[in-house]
Structure 1
Amino acid sequence: MRKKRLTLASTALLTTSFLVVAQADIDGAYDHAEIPRVAGSSIVHFDRSEYDRVSIPTGPYDGDGIESMESLEGEVLSLSYTFDNPNITPLQVKRNYRQALEERGFEVLYAASNDELSGGTGRLFFNNAGLFERGARSCCHFASGNRDIRYLAVRSADGTVLAGIAAFNARRVDGAAVSMTVVTAEEMETAMDHRPLTADEMASGLMEDGRVAVQDILFEHDSAEILPDSADALATISDLMQERADLHLLVVGHTDNTGSYDYNVQLSMARATSVMDHLTNQHGISGDRLQAAGAGMMAPITTNLTEEGRSRNRRVELVQMAQ
């Protein structure tokens, strides 16, 4: 795919970077069509989800959480870039993105830097924004010293593209690094190769295999927050447990293999705990009949090399426990 680049054109900014040929992007990576890269940069991390719901921070981290968020559903691209020229700064990169995107009609929803973002010169924002676990952290950790982070949240004029872009000093990276998450709105494909399980089908799976995979419990992107579309599946589990008062279940969260081992184990455990808490608090199932566990990426049911495979591997399984 042809690469589009922004230009560090201002006399206040460096131009020597364009005399250096950027190193090759990682295989299969490409820029978002509406958000071109800054010249002299290369893609060092790339991940695409065909359809997901992502919340982009539009305010600082206040100690309890991100103050405000803007959400959108659709295709999700997560990208990280580094530069050949070690003298390019996060401020230069932010200004170039802002100027170029405003010229394309994008609205700046939030722009801030360093202590404006959070304590720790922006470190707490970086760690809690929910955007960088699968992007920057796999290639470019936020610097432990000499910290500098510049952040933009932008939305296209027609509202179909939403992005969070961070330019920052990174450990073991000379010069600036960039990490961004871009959501492009689109309708979800409604044709599915499975239908929701009934309580009887769940019971049969538990009897025959000792476990059953529930594909219809859905979560926010990189979060343990259960989406409203999960209500029917959770109600069916509740019906099953009310029909069988002797049933005790291990609720096991599973993820795809995107991100680190520790991150996925923690996320899968948090999601399993959310399901257990929902059944207890919303459906009145006794807590001593449920136990949460997180398997992370350890037990895929299909390949993680395709988005379809990764979506199937992101699931909740019910495992029958002895009384």
Structure 2
Amino acid sequence: MAGWVAAALLSVSGAGASELEGAGDHSEVPRVAGSFIVFHESSDFDRLSIPTGAWDGDQFESFERLEGQVLRLSYNFEDPGVTTLRVKRSYLQALEARGFEILFSGSEEELSSGAGRTFFRESGLFDRGARDCCRVANRDRQVRYMAARSEAGNVLAGIAVFNARRVDGPAVSKAIVTAAEMDATMDHQPLTADEMETGLVEDGRVAVPDILFEVNSAAILPESAEALESIAELMNAQSSMELLVVGHTDNTGDFDYNVSLSLQRAQSVVNWLRDEYGIAGARLQAAGAGMMAPVTTNRTEEGRAQNRRVELVERGR
């Protein structure tokens, strides 16, 4: 039986006439036979937080994060005889056969109140697909969910199976991230000390986008050295200058986590300037703004990349 179910998942036959033109499956997480794609969205680089535990009313019990290429897909089944349980079991067994680790699996009240509807909404993984095609049914929702990670650890997926409004058979929504490093190639030079000073004089603050960190970490990447050296040059040239170093994130993930991470990253910059360049610690203060002050939209990968930044703000003398 398990072999038949896995084979059914790997089959892409039976896609209906309503298949979304130009859309395709993820190579490691294909569809269950009989379903067809009704929503497709991809980005070259983003960060995805995948719940690996239930929603307890305030937050998810646990989650995994990964940065890389993100693919969001939604599928419908035309056959009302296909059950949500069958579809979920098909995915679970086929993914395990491919070496995936099932990080979490639950259904309805195991996920959250509202027979899993709250979990579906609060995860934020399926918002775009739900708006365009696949809203959870008001009754008989049968929300089922699994989180899985590939054997190599480079693919992380969250998959929801549910009954949707105005759909004859079940619906499936997926959010999948495949690990990849951001292309850090810059067609501009990092800000010079003079350019930073101009920004501080004219605007009271200046963004330093060339300070980069490891994924989900406050560890500064080596390619940030030139920008950090320019800050040191500025402070050595302006011996009375005092600065706030403010970390910013995009709006992906938990609010408290992002505030904490932004503060830790700002503190890493302060520590670097103190330890590597001898800038007095009293002249620098770290602060974390999390997602609270975006400079542009968080609805695109490009916008989120701009919102992840470090800013310098001149303190009063």
TM over 0.5: yes
Structure 2 residue 180 is the aligned partner of structure 1 residue 179: no
- Consecutive unaligned residues in structure 2, runs of 5 or more: 1-5, 271-283
Give the percent of matched residue pairs that are identical in Structure 1 and Structure 2: 48
Question: Normalised by the size of structure 1, how large is the TM-score?
Answer: 0.64
Query: 1:164, CA displacement in angstroms?
Result: 0.9
Rounded Cα–Cα distance in structure 2 between residues aligned with 1:173 and 1:235: 58
Amino acid at match of 1:63: G
Q: Structure 1, residues 166-209: CA drift from partner, whole Å, max 9, x if none?
A: 11122343332211111222344343334543554233245568
Rounded Cα–Cα distance in structure 1 between residues aligned with 2:262 and 2:249: 12
Rounded Cα–Cα distance in structure 2 between residues aligned with 1:153 and 1:43: 20
Q: 1:79 to 1:198 in 2, by over 3 A?
A: farther
Q: Structure 1, residues 287-313: CA drift from partner, whole Å, max 9, x if none?
A: 9xxxx6556539x9xxx7xx6x55665
Matched residue, 1:259: none
- Paired residue for 1:228, among 211, 215, 218? 218
Matched residue, 2:27: 33
Matched residue, 1:112: 106
Q: Is the 8 A contact 1:56 1:71 kept in 2?
A: yes
Moved more, 199-208 or 139-148: 199-208
Q: Is the 8 A contact 1:42 1:82 kept in 2?
A: yes
Q: Is the 8 A contact 1:217 1:229 kept in 2?
A: no
Matched residue, 1:155: 149
Matched residue, 1:125: 119
Matched residue, 1:193: 187
What RMSD over aligned residues (CA atoms) do the two structures have, in Å? 4.8
Rounded Cα–Cα distance in structure 1 between residues aligned with 2:286 and 2:97: 57
Structure 2 residue 136 is the aligned partner of structure 1 residue 142: yes
1:83-94 equivalence runs, <5 A = 83-94=77-88
Q: Secondary structure in 2 aligned to 1:228?
A: coil
Matched residue, 2:59: 65
| Higher share in helix | 2
- Paired residue for 2:71, among 77, 81, 84? 77
- Paired residue for 2:43, among 49, 61, 77? 49
Structure 2 residue 297 is the aligned partner of structure 1 residue 297: yes
Matched residue, 1:12: none
Q: 1:183 to 1:207 in 2, by over 3 A?
A: same
Q: Is the 8 A contact 2:208 2:310 kept in 1?
A: yes
Query: 1:112, CA displacement in angstroms?
Result: 0.7
Q: 1:293 to 1:84 in 2, by over 3 A?
A: same
Q: 1:134 to 1:200 in 2, by over 3 A?
A: farther
Runs of 4+ in structure 1 over 4 Å off: 206-214, 216-221, 229-245, 270-280, 282-287, 292-296, 309-321
For these two proteins, the number of residue pairs brought into alignment is 284
Query: 1:53, CA displacement in angstroms?
Result: 3.1
Matched residue, 1:215: 209
Q: Is the 8 A contact 1:272 1:316 kept in 2?
A: no
Query: 1:114, CA displacement in angstroms?
Result: 0.4
Query: 1:236, CA displacement in angstroms?
Result: 8.7
Rounded Cα–Cα distance in structure 2 between residues aligned with 1:61 and 1:148: 16
Amino acid at match of 1:97: Y
Q: Structure 1, residues 116-159: CA drift from partner, whole Å, max 9, x if none?
A: 01112112211222422344344322233322111111122222
Q: Is the 8 A contact 2:263 2:286 kept in 1?
A: no
Rounded Cα–Cα distance in structure 1 between residues aligned with 2:129 and 2:228: 31
Matched residue, 2:89: 95
- Consecutive unaligned residues in structure 1, runs of 5 or more: 10-16, 256-262
Q: 1:81 to 1:211 in 2, by over 3 A?
A: farther
Query: 1:22, CA displacement in angstroms?
Result: 3.9
Query: 1:113, CA displacement in angstroms?
Result: 0.3
Question: Normalised by the size of structure 2, how large is the TM-score?
Answer: 0.66
The structure with the largest alpha-carbon Rg is 2
Q: 1:66 to 1:271 in 2, by over 3 A?
A: closer
Q: 1:128 to 1:25 in 2, by over 3 A?
A: same
Rounded Cα–Cα distance in structure 1 between residues aligned with 2:133 and 2:213: 25
Matched residue, 1:258: none
Q: Secondary structure in 1 aligned to 2:86?
A: helix
Q: Secondary structure in 1 aligned to 2:114?
A: coil
Matched residue, 1:7: 8
Q: Is the 8 A contact 2:70 2:178 kept in 1?
A: yes
Q: 1:133 to 1:215 in 2, by over 3 A?
A: farther
Rounded Cα–Cα distance in structure 2 between residues aligned with 1:144 and 1:235: 57
Amino acid at match of 1:48: S
Moved more, 206-215 or 44-53: 206-215
1:264-283 equivalence runs, <5 A = none
